[in-house]
Amino acid sequence: MSGKREQWNSRIGFILATVGSAVGLGNVWRFPTVVVQSGGGAFVALFLLIVVVVGVPLIIAELTLGRAGKQNIVSTFSRLAPNTRWWFVGLFSLVTVFIIISFYSVIAGWAVIYFVGSVMGIFTGLDAAGLTQLNQQLISNPVIPVLGQAVFIFFTVLIVLLGVTGGIERISKIIMPGIVVILLILLGRTLSLEGAVEGVIWFFRPELGLINVNTALDAVGQVFFSFSLGMGAILTYGSYLTDEENIPQSAFLIGVADVGIAILMGLIVIPALFAFNIEPGVGPAIVFVTLPAIFNTLPWPVFWSSLFFLMLSFAAITSAVSLLEVAAAYIVDQRGWSRKAAAITMGVLIFVFGLPAVLSQGVLSNVVFLGRDILDFMDFVSSSFFLPISGLLIVIFLGWVWSTDKALLEIEKGSPGFYWGRAWSFLIRFVMPIAIFYIFITGIRG
């Protein structure tokens, strides 16, 4: 096992890197898509509730476990609970990491293609119908998306190779503020489109009749996915923390940043759908049609569109890096491989495992599980099932095996007199296990 463990260079570096992990396709692509599929305002309201009750408390939990264990996802469990089999949870997380990063690279590959396409000007002048058609052609092509996926994985591996502290901290500091600026410009544009108001109303008005267990399951899945929870990404980042770090405060900031960007994105995409009369049925590619449509109504569409998709690709890279880092940290610590060998091997495996997903939009579109194509199925199974399951196991571990008392001692090192400590323990020990379990079981039966 390696002797000296890396630590973050600065507090702001840690926060931005973790926000970099959280903010990615989950906010820009997945959130608006799930909102549209699950009934608008009802879903948004549930999402916000789950952010408060489950999301932020779980960020605190993972950071605390990570800092207390100062290990990779598997040996954190064996260190904090020696002579038990809890390390199994770590292995389960590794499998989930692998599935997620495989399909994640596919969508991120689309962002890369859209960057190149924007620079070449192939989207300019098209209306929503033309963009929908071009999108179908692009993602169902057997070669182009595979290239995009390969380029994306290449850069992700490269950054993990260069080390997280230098590379990621620096990239995140440029990308995150840049994204916010572009999104604000887009927001101004959508809101001034004719017919946009209806979309804003649909986004915020909770049609309570639409809330059911499936919406809840989707909302839990979205919170886990967007906050990078449930499989050790946040835990691994926590393992590079110093004892002085104020964990609850950082968790709060990270949560606010992530939710803020998701809401911003929803407010851009959904009113635009209404204004441009785009069928929400276009599925996972919604964002790839609406956004270019908005860009085409702005002066310099090529400039905005290229800049946006470049930023999106980088935002996805900072997330994918955190996924790959979970696996790399494990292979390096436990198997004694070099960082280089670990990252490259994983990169190749992810590429191969992602192939069925990338081809599922074209050649393999006939392969369907539970009514979902391969890409959608991988997303659904990992986000709605595997993430909550391992999240459930993590809270049971923290609340009942390692104990919230020890966790509170750990938290108080950097946050003396953690004001919400008791409420937090209560959530971790009682509310969360019951809530996640209930939603989960009824969701499976329904």
Phi, psi (rounded to 5 degrees) for 373: -70, 175
Query: One symbol per residue from 94 to 113: x for binding ligand TRP (CB under 6 A), - otherwise; what is it?
Result: ------x-------------
Residue 216 near ligand TRP by CB under 6 A = no
Q: 313 vs 322, which CB is nearer to ligand TRP?
A: 322
Among 18, 19, 20, 24, binds ligand TRP (CB under 6 A): 24
Distance of closest approach, residue 385 Cβ to ligand TRP, in angstroms: 13
The span from the CA of 383 to the CA of 377, in Å, is 10
The span from the CA of 90 to the CA of 44, in Å, is 31
Residue 22 near ligand TRP by CB under 6 A = yes
Q: Which stretch binds ligand TRP (CB under 6 A): 4-12, 227-235, 305-313, 334-342?
A: 227-235
Residue 321 near ligand TRP by CB under 6 A = no
Among 128, 211, 231, 329, binds ligand TRP (CB under 6 A): 231
Distance of closest approach, residue 101 Cβ to ligand TRP, in angstroms: 8
Instruction: Number of residues interacting with ligand TRP: please give it, by CB under 6 A.
Output: 17
Distance of closest approach, residue 220 Cβ to ligand TRP, in angstroms: 12
Distance of closest approach, residue 25 Cβ to ligand TRP, in angstroms: 4
What are the b/e assignments for 190-207, b being 16+ CB within 10 Å? bbebeebeebbebbeebe
Distance of closest approach, residue 382 Cβ to ligand TRP, in angstroms: 8
What are the b/e assignments for 271-308, b being 16+ CB within 10 Å? bbbbbbebeeebebbbbbbbbbbbbbeeeebbebbbbb
**DSSP letters for 205-269:** ---GGG--HHHHHHHHHHHHHHTT-SSSHHHHHHTT--TT--HHHHHHHHHHHHHHHHHHHHHHH
Residue 226 near ligand TRP by CB under 6 A = yes
Distance of closest approach, residue 255 Cβ to ligand TRP, in angstroms: 12
Query: One symbol per residue from 160 to 199: x for binding ligand TRP (CB under 6 A), - otherwise; what is it?
Result: ----------------------------------------
Angle at 407 between CA 72 and CA 56, to 5 degrees: 80
CA 235 from chain centre, in angstroms, equals 15
C-beta nearest to ligand TRP: residue: 26
Which 247-286 positions form the footprint of ligand TRP (CB under 6 A)? none
Among 75, 190, 222, 228, binds ligand TRP (CB under 6 A): 228
Which 360-389 positions form the footprint of ligand TRP (CB under 6 A)? 387
Residue 138 near ligand TRP by CB under 6 A = no
Residue 21 near ligand TRP by CB under 6 A = yes
Q: If DSSP states are collapsed to H, E and C, what string results for 214-227?
A: HHHHHHHHHHHHHC
**DSSP letters for 347-403:** HHHHHHHHHHHHHTTTTTTT-EETTEEHHHHHHHIIIIIIHHHHHHHHHHIIIIIII
Residue 225 near ligand TRP by CB under 6 A = yes
Distance of closest approach, residue 262 Cβ to ligand TRP, in angstroms: 8
Distance of closest approach, residue 425 Cβ to ligand TRP, in angstroms: 24
Residue 88 carries which side chain, given as an amino acid letter?
A: F
Residue 386 carries which side chain, given as an amino acid letter?
A: F
**DSSP letters for 421-440:** HHHHHHIIIIIHHHHHHHHH
Structure tokens at 379: 């997303």
Among 17, 18, 19, 27, binds ligand TRP (CB under 6 A): 27
Q: 278 vs 312, which CB is nearer to ligand TRP?
A: 312
Q: Which residue from 310, 17, 12, 324 is spatially nearest to 172, judged by alpha carbons?
A: 17
What is the contact surface with ligand TRP in residues (CB under 6 A)?
A: 21-22, 24-27, 100, 225-226, 228, 230-231, 233, 319, 322-323, 387
